[in-house]
Amino acid sequence: MPPFSILDLAHIPEGFTPSDALRNSLDLAQHAETWDYTRFWLAEHHNMVGIASAATSVAIGHVAGGTKTIRVGAGGIMLPNHSPLVIAEQFGTLDALYPGRIDLGVGRAPGTDQRTLRALRRDPTAADTFPQDVLELQALLGPVQPDQAIQAVPGAGSNVPIWILGSSLFGAQLAAMLGLPYAFASHFAPGALMQAIQVYRERFQPSAQLDRPYAMVGVNVIAAETDEEARHLFTSAQQSFTNLFRGTRGKLQPPIDDIESYWAPHEKAQAMNMLSCSFVGSAKTVREGLEGFIAETGADELIVASAIYDHAKRLRSYEILADLQKDMSKAA
């Protein structure tokens, strides 16, 4: 049975503030640590009024500083938005503060729209040099070489683990070529999941960081005492994805009683396609779904997102899932 981890988007629920969201992130991480989750990742998004983790390395420091053992990291840093040197310095600093606990997942999407990308002062074509940027980042976090003119301080020699994030074959091929762990974003872009994992495993070349392929797969889990309650909680995520297509992104909305009255048929089809790797229900229902999914994908690890409006209910969902993981491990 693979280990479970958490992907927290630091959602800002309607009626709450970024301060509330970041406090909730830390509270969730502290609970996750006691429930034996493997890692807690935050993601970079910009110009989104419903997500509080834009300054991702700062948010990671906030969570790492309030926890003791759980790994904390980025899922991920959108590398085209940054110079590799700056990211090496930020994550080298995090590793110096919290040694042996920091992960650095990197992706090539901007994590925002083109106008915001220009506001970040980055070249819109920066994604084209993503492979070279990853190599540069690796070098900056690796051992200092003779006559190396530019060093990341802190960062050089830290060997902070780098992960490649992706939702297409491009990331799978790059992760395989560089011998890096691979995290697939099937929690919102599941289309190429099986093909990407296959390509990654078939083409993997061992590296100093990793001797065999390691694929982490993203899923959404909404667990509650009953299937009915979980489906009700899930309507917050369903509203969010519907609003994404409408161009009306906002804060995370409270659940509603009748999602069918909220979306049009074509919106439902689009949203549920993106949310197809979602497991919603009681412990029994979620377990049945996850067991089939794990058997199908052979995932080495699951990373779980849960867009639940009520923080206490989100905690309960992750608690149910943690208990499930233990039970499934014993039965394996």
3-state SS assignment for residue 299: coil
What pLDDT is stored for residue 118 in this prediction? 76
Total residues belonging to the chain: 332
Query: Dihedral of CA 144/148/154/155: which sign?
Result: negative
pLDDT, tens digit, 9 for 90 and up, residues 289-309 = 999 999 999 999 999 999 999
The string over 50-71, giving b where at least 16 C-beta atoms fall within 10 Å of a residue's C-beta and e elsewhere, is bbbbbebbebbbbbbeebeebb
pLDDT at 324 over 80: yes
CA angle at residue 278 from 274 to 282, to 5 degrees?
A: 155
CA–CA gap between residue 92 and residue 210 (Å, rounded): 20
What pLDDT is stored for residue 128 in this prediction? 83
DSSP lists the bridge partners of residue 13 as 252
pLDDT at 111 over 70: no
The mean per-residue pLDDT over the stretch 275-280 comes to 98
State the chain's maximal CA–CA distance in angstroms.
Answer: 65
Query: Dihedral of CA 203/208/212/213: which sign?
Result: negative
pLDDT at 191 over 60: yes
Burial class (CB in 10 A: 0-12, 13-18, 19+), 133: buried
The mean per-residue pLDDT over the stretch 201-215 comes to 98
CA–CA gap between residue 32 and residue 51 (Å, rounded): 20
pLDDT at 113 over 80: no
Average pLDDT of the residues of the chain: 95
pLDDT at 120 over 80: no
The mean per-residue pLDDT over the stretch 198-226 comes to 98
The mean per-residue pLDDT over the stretch 152-175 comes to 97
Residue 301: name the closest of 215, 181, 231 by CA: 215
What pLDDT is stored for residue 8 in this prediction? 98
Taking the CB of residue 93, how many other CB atoms lie within 10 A of it?
18
What pLDDT is stored for residue 125 in this prediction? 74
Q: Note whether 31 and 315 are within 8 A (CB).
A: yes
Query: Rg of the chain's alpha carbons, rounded to an integer?
Result: 19
CA–CA gap between residue 99 and residue 91 (Å, rounded): 11
What pLDDT is stored for residue 242 in this prediction? 97
pLDDT, tens digit, 9 for 90 and up, residues 58-80 = 999 999 999 999 999 999 999 99
C-alpha distances out from residue 92 to 70, 73, 296, 311, Å:
18, 12, 37, 32
Give this prediction's pTM. Answer: 0.96
CA–CA gap between residue 132 and residue 211 (Å, rounded): 22
Helix (H) or strand (E) segment spanning residue 290: helix 283-297
What pLDDT is stored for residue 331 in this prediction? 87
Q: Give the pLDDT band of residue 11 (cuts 50, 70, 90).
A: very high
What pLDDT is stored for residue 112 in this prediction? 64
CA–CA gap between residue 52 and residue 43 (Å, rounded): 9
What pLDDT is stored for residue 41 in this prediction? 98
Q: Note whether 190 and 199 are within 8 A (CB).
A: no
pLDDT at 223 over 80: yes
Burial class (CB in 10 A: 0-12, 13-18, 19+), 213: buried
All structural domains of the chain: 4-331 (3.20.20.30)
What pLDDT is stored for residue 201 in this prediction? 98
